[in-house]
Chain A
Amino acid sequence: MITFLQATFEGLSLGAVYSLVAIGFVLIYKATDVLSFAQPALVVVGAGLISALAVDRGVPFWIAFIVGILLTGIIGLVMERTFLRPMVGEPVFSVAILTIGIDILLRTVLNNWIGLNPRYLGDPFQSFGNFGSVNVGGVTLKYLEIAALFTGVIIIILLSVFFKRSKYGVAMMATSYDQEAALAQGINVGRIFGLVWLISGVLAGFAGFFITGGFNTLTQASFLSALRVLPAVAIGGLDSIPGAVIGSLIIGLTQGYVAYYQLMLEGVIGFSLGSGFSLIAPYLIMFFILIFKPDGLFGTKEVERV
Chain B
Amino acid sequence: MKNRPNLFTDYRKESSIFPNNTQKFWFAVLILVSCTFPFFLSSYWKLLVTTSLLTAIACWGLNIVSGLAGQINLAHGVFVGIGTYVSAIIGGVATSSVIGYELDMIIWLPLSGLAAAFVGILISPVSARLKGLNLGLVTLALVFIGSHFFSNLKFITGGAGLGRKAASLKFLGQDLEAGLQIGNVLLEKNDIIYYFSLFLCIVMGLGVKNLTRSKIGRAFSAIRDRDIAAEALGINLFKFKMYAFALASFYAGIAGSLLFTIAGGVEPGTFNLLYSIIFIAIVIIGGAGTVLGPLYGAFFFTTLPGIIQAVLHATGLSDTGFFLNAGEIERIVFGFFIIFFLIFEPRGLWGIWFRLRNYFKAWPFSY
Chain A residues contacting B145 (CB-CB under 8 Å) are 280, 283-284, 287
Q: Enumerate A284-306 residues with CB–CB distance to B below 8 Å.
A: 284, 286-287, 290-291, 294-296, 304-306
Does B203 belong to the interface (CB within 8 Å)? no
10 contacts between A and B (CB under 8 A): A93-B72, A93-B132, A108-B335, A233-B137, A234-B138, A274-B148, A275-B152, A280-B144, A306-B228, A306-B232
Q: How many residues of A contact B (CB 8 A)?
A: 47
* Cβ-defined contact, A101 with B141, below 8 A: no
Could you count the A-B residue pairs with CB atoms below 8 Å apart for me: how many are there? 127
Chain B residues contacting A305 (CB-CB under 8 Å) are 228
Does A163 belong to the interface (CB within 8 Å)? no
Chain B residues contacting A277 (CB-CB under 8 Å) are 148
Q: How far is the CA of A100 from the CA of B335 in the complex (A)?
A: 8
Q: Is the interface of A mostly helix, strand, loop or mixed?
A: helix
Q: How far is the CA of A104 from the CA of B281 in the complex (A)?
A: 11
Does B280 belong to the interface (CB within 8 Å)? yes
Q: Enumerate B132-186 residues with CB–CB distance to A below 8 Å.
A: 132-134, 136-138, 140-142, 144-145, 148-149, 151-152
Stretch at the interface among B51-59, B242-250, B310-318, B336-344: B336-344
Contact A283 to B126, CB < 8 A, known contacts A98-B338, A104-B331, A109-B332? no
Instruction: Give chain A's interface residues, CB within 8 Å of chain B.
Output: 35, 83, 86-87, 90, 92-98, 100-105, 108-109, 111-112, 227, 230-231, 233-234, 238, 272, 274-277, 279-280, 283-284, 286-287, 290-291, 294-296, 304-306
Identify which of B141, B273, B325, B339 contacts A98 (C-beta below 8 A). B339
Chain A residues contacting B140 (CB-CB under 8 Å) are 230, 283
Q: How far is the CA of A12 from the CA of B93 in the complex (A)?
A: 48
* Cβ-defined contact, A295 with B280, below 8 A: no
* Cβ-defined contact, A290 with B331, below 8 A: no
> Which residue of chain A is the closest to B131 with respect to CB atoms?
A294
* Cβ-defined contact, B339 with A83, below 8 A: yes
Chain A residues contacting B151 (CB-CB under 8 Å) are 274, 276
Chain A residues contacting B144 (CB-CB under 8 Å) are 279-280, 283
Contact A287 to B281, CB < 8 A, known contacts A275-B152, A306-B226? no
Q: Enumerate B313-356 residues with CB–CB distance to A below 8 Å.
A: 323-325, 328, 331-332, 334-339, 342-343, 346
* Cβ-defined contact, A97 with B138, below 8 A: no
Q: How far is the CA of A53 from the CA of B151 in the complex (A)?
A: 37
Chain B residues contacting A238 (CB-CB under 8 Å) are 133-134
Chain B residues contacting A290 (CB-CB under 8 Å) are 126, 130, 134, 137-138
> Which residue of chain B is the closest to A101 with respect to CB atoms?
B338
Chain B residues contacting A274 (CB-CB under 8 Å) are 148-149, 151-152
* Cβ-defined contact, B226 with A231, below 8 A: no
Chain B residues contacting A96 (CB-CB under 8 Å) are 72, 133, 136
* Cβ-defined contact, B343 with A87, below 8 A: yes
Does B307 belong to the interface (CB within 8 Å)? no
The 6 A-B residue pairs with the shortest CB-CB distance, nearest first, are: A274-B152, A101-B338, A104-B335, A283-B141, A105-B335, A101-B339
* Cβ-defined contact, B137 with A291, below 8 A: no
* Cβ-defined contact, A97 with B126, below 8 A: no
Chain B residues contacting A291 (CB-CB under 8 Å) are 125-126, 129
Q: How far is the CA of A92 from the CA of B136 in the complex (A)?
A: 11
Known: A102-B335, A104-B332, A291-B125. 18 other contacts (CB 8 A): A92-B132, A93-B133, A94-B346, A97-B280, A97-B342, A98-B339, A100-B280, A101-B281, A101-B335, A101-B339, A101-B342, A104-B277, A272-B152, A283-B144, A286-B138, A287-B142, A290-B126, A294-B129
Instruction: Give chain B's interface residues, CB within 8 Å of chain A.
Output: 70, 72, 125-126, 129-130, 132-134, 136-138, 140-142, 144-145, 148-149, 151-152, 226, 228-229, 232, 273-274, 277, 280-281, 284, 323-325, 328, 331-332, 334-339, 342-343, 346
Contact A104 to B334, CB < 8 A, known contacts A35-B133, A112-B328? yes
Q: How far is the CA of A92 from the CA of B146 in the complex (A)?
A: 26
CB A209 to nearest CB in B, in angstroms, measures: 24
Chain B residues contacting A100 (CB-CB under 8 Å) are 277, 280-281, 338
Identify which of B134, B281, B332, B346 contacts A105 (C-beta below 8 A). B332
> Which residue of chain B is the closest to A34 with respect to CB atoms?
B133
Identify which of A104, A227, A295 contacts B338 (C-beta below 8 A). A104
Chain A residues contacting B130 (CB-CB under 8 Å) are 290, 294
Q: How far is the CA of A76 from the CA of B251 in the complex (A)?
A: 38
CB B297 to nearest CB in A, in angstroms, measures: 13
Q: How far is the CA of A103 from the CA of B338 in the complex (A)?
A: 11
> Which residue of chain A is the closest to B72 with respect to CB atoms?
A93
CB A108 to nearest CB in B, in angstroms, measures: 5
Q: How far is the CA of A304 from the CA of B281 in the complex (A)?
A: 29
Q: Which of A93, A230, A272, A274 has the most CB of B within 10 A?
A: A93
Q: How far is the CA of A306 from the CA of B229 in the complex (A)?
A: 6
* Cβ-defined contact, B141 with A231, below 8 A: yes
> Which residue of chain A is the closest to B332 with respect to CB atoms?
A108
Q: How far is the CA of A32 from the CA of B352 in the complex (A)?
A: 29
Identify which of A87, A104, A295, A296 contacts B342 (C-beta below 8 A). A87
Q: How far is the CA of A275 from the CA of B338 in the complex (A)?
A: 34
Q: Which of A95, A97, A109 has the most CB of B within 10 A?
A: A97
> Which residue of chain A is the closest to B277 with respect to CB atoms?
A100
* Cβ-defined contact, B324 with A98, below 8 A: no
> Which residue of chain B is the closest to A305 with respect to CB atoms?
B228
Chain A residues contacting B232 (CB-CB under 8 Å) are 306
Q: How far is the CA of A276 from the CA of B268 in the complex (A)?
A: 15
